[in-house]
């Protein structure tokens, strides 16, 4: 990719041979190849993918789970979502969201159910 003058970039089909510059030329060529791979990956990936972070704000976690902030607070209160308060406000770690999704996936719904205890009548 090279600057096109208008702020955009034009893809190079072949990289120029810079090996006559010695080690510096080889480094520049390898960086250019990595940049091209990265640009191809960015251009081929869907634009609407969610950004994966280490931890999410309550609003971001709600969006990630397609639910409301109130539901996130209820899940936290019930102990179904782990939280972190290290940054001053509540954050939901990515692994907590993944654990919740795994625990509530359709496969886990078919696990063996525990027998329900009935209330004993007092004499």
Q: Taking the CB of residue 81, how many other CB atoms lie within 10 A of it? A: 22
**Prediction pTM value:** 0.46
**pLDDT score for 92:** 92
Q: What is the pLDDT of residues 9-53, one digit of tens each?
A: 555 556 666 667 777 777 777 888 888 888 777 776 555 555 677
Q: What is the pLDDT of residues 56-66, one digit of tens each?
A: 999 999 998 99
Residue 92 and residue 54 in contact, taking contact as beta carbons nearer than 8 Å: no
Give the list of residues 6+ apart from residue 52 with CB closer than 8 angstroms, or none: 94
Cα(12)–Cα(1) distance, rounded to whole angstroms? Answer: 6
Pairing of strands 55-57, 9-10: unpaired
Span 98-108, average pLDDT:
79
């Amino acid at each position: 990719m090279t600057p096109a003058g208008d702020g955009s970039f034009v893809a190079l089909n072949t990289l120029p041979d810079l090996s006559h510059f010695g080690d510096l030329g080889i480094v520049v060529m390898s960086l250019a190849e990595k940049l091209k791979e990265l640009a191809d990956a960015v251009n081929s990936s869907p634009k609407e993918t969610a950004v994966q972070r280490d931890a999410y704000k309550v609003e971001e976690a709600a969006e990630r789970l397609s639910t409301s902030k109130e539901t996130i607070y209820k899940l936290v209160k019930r102990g179904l979502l782990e939280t972190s308060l290290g940054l001053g406000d509540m954050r939901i770690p990515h692994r907590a969201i993944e654990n919740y999704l795994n625990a509530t996936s359709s496969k886990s719904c078919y696990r063996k159910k525990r027998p329900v205890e009935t209330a004993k009548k007092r004499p």
